Homo-oligomer: A and B are copies of this chain.
Amino acid sequence: MTDSLDTLSIRQMCDAFDVTPRTLRFYEAKELLFPIRLGTRRLFTRADRARLTLILRGKRFGFSLEDIRQLLAMYERDGSNQAQLLRTLEIAKDRLAQMEAQRAELDLAIDDLKTQLTEGEKMIAAFNTPPTQEGSAQ
Binding site for B on A (CB under 8 A): 57, 60-62, 82, 85-86, 88-89, 92-93, 95-96, 99-100, 102-103, 106-107, 109-110, 112-114, 116-117, 120-121, 123-124, 127
Contacts and interface: CB of A to CB of B under 8 A. Distances in A.
B103 A107 contact: yes
Contacts of A61: 109, 112-113
14 contacts: A60-B112, A62-B109, A82-B124, A85-B123, A89-B117, A92-B113, A92-B117, A93-B117, A96-B110, A99-B109, A99-B110, A99-B113, A103-B106, A103-B107
The dominant DSSP class at the A interface is helix
Contacts of A121: 89
Contacts of A88: 120
B120 A89 contact: yes
Cβ-closest 5 pairs across A and B:
A89-B120, A60-B109, A99-B110, A96-B113, A61-B113
Contacts of A85: 120, 123-124
Contacts of A100: 110
A124 to B, nearest CB: 6
Contacts of A106: 99, 102-103, 106
A62 B108 CA distance: 12
A92 to B, nearest CB: 6
